[in-house]
Structure 1
Amino acid sequence: MPTSEPLRELIVRLWGESGPNTPVLATLGDLPAGYRPMESYAVVPSPANARFLVPIADHAAAAATLTCYNRLRSGQVRATRRVLGAGFRTGLAQRLLRHRLTVGLRSDIPAGQAADHLLGEHLRRVLDVPRIVFGLGVRPLDPNGKPTLQVFSGDGAPSATRRSAGVPPPRRWPRPRRRPWRPSVPRWPRPVPGRAGRAPTSPRSCTTARGATCSSR
């Protein structure tokens, strides 16, 4: 299934690389044997053009991940999230949006150790609540960027926002831009009274803030 690079990177940062016998497996297909499902998200609108991961949980909680914390967003984004939130609140979006991201835990790992492997379970234990869900936007991540999770209780009440440090850093760091150095404007000596308008007859020199010397005739 075609998957956008930002979505792949987000999956790796939150749930790690997939591989044989890994404790946690996040997949856009069916979980293989040996894993039990722990979390499920609607990929909106599709894996190839993912913009949101919305938890498939209680309708109110799913809608809340889209309709809360929108004050600083643009008008177009707020409108889109309100429409999607209304669809998840009524259950219509769950039926129309078929793409799912399923997160599974290896079956031999006891439930009491789930918090050691899953971020959601870890946050539930830290916040001391019976159940939490979180949603997040999918966008390109720069080396210093972190996914921002909007955390809600099972009934849709806001619990926290959290920035995840993610897993390993990118393989290739972008080269920093270097701003070209520009010498500061030199301060010329004040004109001698009575000689205004007369050009200097001998070279004058000055030193800029960085030590560069300039002269004029």
Structure 2
Amino acid sequence: MKCSRLSLLLVVLTLPGLFSLARGTTIIAPDFDQLVNSADYVVRATVKSVTSEWRQNPDNPRKPYIGTQVELEVLEVISGTPPSPLILDLVGGRIGDKQLVVDGAPRFEPGQESILFIQGNGRQIVPLVGMKHGHYPVRRDPRTGDNQVMRSGGKFLYHEAEVALPTAAASAAPARDPRARPLNTSEFATRIRSHVKPHDRERHQ
């Protein structure tokens, strides 16, 4: 398989001028207030379909790139007013033996459930606040049936403050208290709503 990568050190995060150089561009993990209030809307949703296609490169028409549309089934609107249908438009994907990978972007698979902090859909390379930092997969505990919130790096989320940690960092909560348990979707949604700032509530309604 031929695989191309777009490094966040080399690309602008907004359209147009998608592939213009932007040296020094990095993704800094947002704290919880920034994560919540930078989002246009926040939803809990499942992936209905993932469709990749070749697109024209605005900077070099001779070199098209792969883009992907992710159609979502919204299970819960946590904040904001998402469009219906809700389809995420992002750069990257796979067509046959060719793949374009954007460093820092989460992967979407049909049937996957997650809580998404969506920002700039159709205007950003990946329309999530902080790329992977805006993507929280949901896992059902086979023993309790609880819908547990995870971070995009595969670690459980025990407290909202942990969103500012590297995505692959494990929580220290279980070491401090063996009885600690990950946040479930209801708890996380409640904390998200409680952190919407007053001057942003109109935008999030």
Q: TM-score range by the shorter chain?
A: under 0.3
What TM-score comes out, normalization by structure 1 length? 0.24
Higher normalized helix content (fraction of residues): 1
Larger Rg: 1
